[in-house]
A and B are shown apart, each in its own frame.
Chain A
């Protein structure tokens, strides 16, 4: 019976296929990883340098790409009125990331769409119209992060962010982080999003 079995039904054939397919896929993945990482390091072609927090940024529909696209305008808009050099900007954004991890934000929110679904996505939180105007935004964000229970806008759901003991410094870091993150080229996610200062453009 064994002699009549075609090669493609044999154990040894599939063993070889398994090994080659796995190795081949893995090699391609490694190659693509090198390319992707080079494009997504801060200051690469798709992820802005941390000093982007000194700039005015927005998110607009791009007619040639036919999708939404973050835009870094040629106009200063220093965070908390202070221009930061590369090192200072990195440190502020880094404090934001450490705080975001230490406070476990991602088990309520999503960042770049990953995380939990109990609270809004933060990918473009910096650009959200919920902050009213660009002028009031920084102050409102600072207040809210330090005292979320009090300043919560729950839109009738009563779902409030908990008191996480975020300090003013940490709050500034988080805000810097959100501003930087809103400039990442996310291939048009989220779609159809109207940024806070959209009317001005």
Chain B
């Protein structure tokens, strides 16, 4: 169709945003995606507040302190990504298994229970903030452990909800057909949920505490989450590009072997300095240094398949975010992770802005991207499977701009934090020997302050990208007259 023809039909076609064409699992997925997107915006907002406090320490001092803002920032991130993953799996569960979801009703109840719990937890974070030094603070207010701050009552709720989800996945595949993807996914979910329980006990001993805490955090992001997105990627490549199942599944097994083979013992890169024995210096250094290999494999595999299929796809924004995922995962986790993973360098970079630089690029590149891709798959179907590409009625400017701003924003923040990290590692750690005085000498150095300013500039860019993304998800395809052109599956 010529562009004139599109333009002349613009005013005539209005596609409603509707759930009519969605299967049961997909309807539920849309619920999860909606909350995920709202929490993503909350994450960005509280990131801005925390980042601002680096520049203006009096900003919200004793009202919404840095620790509160940061807790909401990173906890919202973990929760929205888990929502996104659950949604993504519900999204393709019926297609992949060939049958309807077994316990959809329970799935819906679980969604509402989880969402109410998350709301209460966030309100308590913001309004109560901290408690006295008692067990009940940990049970009711917050656990005070990074990323898994949710109080214990909420942990138990989360486990219950995840069990319902797991039941739905396992039982639906059992009733329908088991594929290679189904098998890997199911086993991976067992591990993912089981690991959460490793983070659910209190101990006085900080070394033992951090030992198990890293089981949750590391074995999530560098093992089970990585395999989970491998499954999601496998399915996406089949759907978006029409890659053959045999090929994606073989790749999936290779990736599982490489990822678990390096990532499980790679856990040792967090056991260098927490009191654990010296052999972890060798084991952790060696295995974690291998972790980039599966990430390279994933890039090669997705780009190669894309090339073979001539990058032809019915959903350009989703596909672009999938490619962003492949590269983001490789650079954020693989390259930025590798940069500080050997103990010889980690002795100086451990717990500096260097870590924050890596954390931002890795979480965004590996996990935010692929969830955003699924948001686009969902809105496409909700708009009656319309065409989604660069040549939409408004030239698709919103999805393109959101994509550029978000990626550029996060990369910009990553580079700013890396510069701050270099400076901090040198001045505070190497020169000053990590005293409080040394810490502040590094924090007040002009290089550090400049880096923090640039982080804010790029943070605002990221935030604008987020707003555009939100707006685009609500509007994309509304005036698109053409149906999506299917790919062979």
Contacts and interface: CB of A to CB of B under 8 A. Distances in A.
Q: Do A and B come from one complex?
A: yes
Interface of A: 9-11, 14-15, 17-18, 21-22, 25-26, 28-29, 32-33, 35-37, 39-42, 46-47, 50, 90, 93-108, 110-118, 120-121, 124-125, 128-130, 149, 153-160, 162-165, 167, 170, 173, 181, 184-194
Contact of B433 (A10, A39, A194): A194
A189 B146 contact: no
14 contacts: A32-B280, A36-B211, A40-B205, A98-B137, A104-B71, A112-B210, A117-B353, A129-B436, A149-B62, A154-B440, A155-B443, A159-B57, A164-B130, A170-B132
B208 A40 contact: yes
Contact of B351 (A36, A114, A193): A114
A46 B275 CA distance: 6
A113 B68 contact: no
B444 A11 contact: no
B277 A156 contact: no
Contact of B429 (A95, A100, A188, A190): A190
Contacts of A156: 440, 444
Contacts of A17: 253-254, 257
A25 B256 CA distance: 12
A130 B436 contact: yes
A155 B441 contact: yes
Given A22-B264, A102-B131, A102-B137, A41 B208 contact: yes
Contacts of A194: 433, 435
B135 interface: yes
B453 interface: no
B149 A99 contact: no
A155 B54 CA distance: 14
Contacts of A165: 130, 132
Contacts of B430: 191-192
Nearest to B69: A107
Given A107-B149, A160-B61, 17 more contacts: A36-B276, A40-B205, A40-B208, A41-B208, A97-B206, A100-B144, A102-B130, A102-B134, A104-B129, A117-B352, A128-B435, A129-B435, A130-B435, A187-B272, A189-B273, A191-B347, A193-B433
B325 interface: no
B177 to A, nearest CB: 16
B145 A101 contact: yes
Contacts of A164: 130
A186 B351 CA distance: 14
A112 B206 contact: yes
A120 B62 contact: no
Interface in B428-450: 429-430, 432-437, 439-441, 443-444
